[in-house]
Amino acid sequence: MSSSGTPAGGDAVPGPSGEPNHLRRFLAIWIGCSVIATPLVAILLGPLLPPGNGSDAASGQVTDNTVLLSMATPVLLLVVVYLVYALLAFRQPRGAALEGPAVRGHQSLQTLWIVVSGVLVLTLAAYGTVRLETGYGAGSGNGPKPLTAPKGEKLPVQVIAQQWAFTYRYPTYGGVETTHLELPVGKTVELHVTSLDVIHSFWAYQLGVKADANPGVDNVAFVKPTKIETFEVHCAELCGIWHGGMFDHGHVVSDTDFESWIAEQQARFAATTKALPKYSTTYTPEPLERGE
């Protein structure tokens, strides 16, 4: 009586008189909803998705999120519509104690599911890899040796994370260090993120950049800001008491504004810049160990 074999499905055949073809109904509802929802998501919702279009990395992520959301919509609808349909259509009548059909599986349906979900998953993985590498890391920290880097001139900026503030160093401008990040619009920036003490994470939201700051490590991220705007910088890795308070606001400004700003910073901090150690991708300042 207890077969674990694979009897024929019998689902596609209309049931006894009066019983609707549930499979056809469910598929119709699901496909209908997907056909309506997926283009809405892809075309209307997509461009509005975070993190916005403040940089090439951010815009790339908006595209990726759109693709992911568009692929997720039919899957979400499949399960949710199915759940609602099955729970409404196949109920135990009040007061009854009926049994359902003793169907234990359906080989071809299982195979179809495995194949389709396998294809979906592999496609996503391939898509993600392509986007990651053609996007030069897509705004994420690539470690000291990125696989790919944008060609052409890049503005190197070092982000120094310490407990509990970010400071920024411009090696091509005399190694001047500043408290705020200002970047010229339209130029590719090569960020070198490092930490002086514990693990922090540099997260410039509107630029779509997140790179962990590890002590003794140079974490490289690439970004090209495309809009003149103010962006939020938050620490994204718990680093102690003021992790939540470790934030500031950076600015993407025009080329000329940037040049005048950096000149002003160089002038203001001339004496302090001399006291700074030589620019390097990592630092290990004193004191290091227990005891002063």
Partner 1 sequence: MSATTADAASRPAQEKPLWRRLIGFNLLTAVILGVGGYYLGWWIGHLVTEGKSFEYTAATDENDVALLLAYFFGVIGFLIGLGFANYPISRLLGKPASLREKEEHGIGRYFGLCTDHKVVGIQYLCGIGLFFFIGGLNAMLIRTELLHSQPTFTGPNQYLSLVGMHGTMMMGMMTSGILGPFANYFVPIMIGARRMAFPRIEALTFWLLMAAGFILTSTIFFGGFPTGWTGYEPLNDQAVMGMDSYICFFALVGISMCLLGLNMMATIITMRAPGLTWSRLPIFVWSVFATSVLMVLAAPMLVATLLMAAFDRTIDTSFFLPAGGGSSYLFENLFWFFGHPEVYILALPGFGIVLELLPVFTRKPLWGYRLAISGMLGVSLLSFFVWQHHLFVSGINADLRPFYMLSTEIISLPTGFIFLCVMGTLWKARTSFTVPMLFCIGWVFNFLIGGLSGVFLSDTPSDTTTHGSFFVMAHFHYTIMGGLIFAFFAAIYYWVPKMLGVNFNEKLAKAHFWLMFVAFNSTFMPLFVLGMEGQARRVNFYEPKFHTLNVWVSISAFVLGFSMLIFLYNTVYSLIFKREVALQNPWRSKSMEWQVATPVPVNNFEQIPVFDSDPYDYGTPLVIGDTRVGGAQVQGG
Partner 2 sequence: MRRERFVVSATGRKLAAVILAVVALGALIGLYVSSWATAVPKTIPGTPSGSSAGAPTTSLVLQTDAAVGPQESPTHPDWVSYLVKQNGRWVRSTIFKVPANSVVHVTVYQFDGDSGLRNAFLSAVQGTGGGVETVDGKAVTHIDPEEASHTFVVPQMGVFVPLPGVEDEAKNQCEYGPCDPATMAHRTIEFTFRTGKKGRYRWQCFVPCAAGTYFGFGGPMQTLGYMDGYIDVV
What is the side-by-side order of every strand in the sheet holding 176-178? 176-178, 165-170, 155-162, 189-195, 219-223
Interface with partner 2, residue 230, by CB under 8 A? no
Residue window 171-210: x/- pattern of binding to partner 1, with contact defined by CB under 8 A:
----------------------x---xxx-x-x-x--xxx
Contact range with partner 2 by CB under 8 A, out of 47-55, 97-105, 229-237, 284-292: 284-292
How remote is the C-alpha of 70 from its chain's centroid?
15
- According to DSSP, residue 242 is labeled T
Q: Which does 25 bind (CB under 5 to 8 A by kind): partner 1, partner 2, none?
A: none
- Residue 203, both tokens: 């997260």
Interface with partner 2, residue 287, by CB under 8 A? yes
Binding to partner 1 (CB under 8 A): which residues in 15-34?
22
Interface with partner 2, residue 240, by CB under 8 A? yes
One of 11, 197, 218, 229 touching partner 2 (CB under 8 A) = 197
One of 11, 177, 229, 257 touching partner 2 (CB under 8 A) = 177
Nearest to 230 by CA among 212, 209, 248: 248
- Residue 216, both tokens: 């003794």
CA–CA separation, 43 vs 65, rounded Å?
12
One of 53, 163, 280, 281 touching partner 2 (CB under 8 A) = 163
Using the minimum distance from each CB to partner 2, give the nearer residue, 67 or 236: 236
The answer to whether 207 and 59 are in contact (CB under 8 A) is no
- Is omega for the bond preceding 287 within 30 degrees of 0, making it cis? yes
Interface with partner 2, residue 241, by CB under 8 A? yes
Nearest to 181 by CA among 163, 155, 199, 200: 155
Using the minimum distance from each CB to partner 2, give the nearer residue, 10 or 240: 240
Secondary structure element (H or E) that encloses residue 239, with its range? none
Q: Which does 164 bind (CB under 5 to 8 A by kind): partner 2, partner 1, none?
A: partner 2
Contact range with partner 2 by CB under 8 A, out of 73-81, 196-204, 205-213, 255-263: 196-204
Sort 266 into a burial class: Cβ within 10 Å, 0-12 / 13-18 / 19+: middle
Using the minimum distance from each CB to partner 1, give the nearer residue, 78 or 276: 78
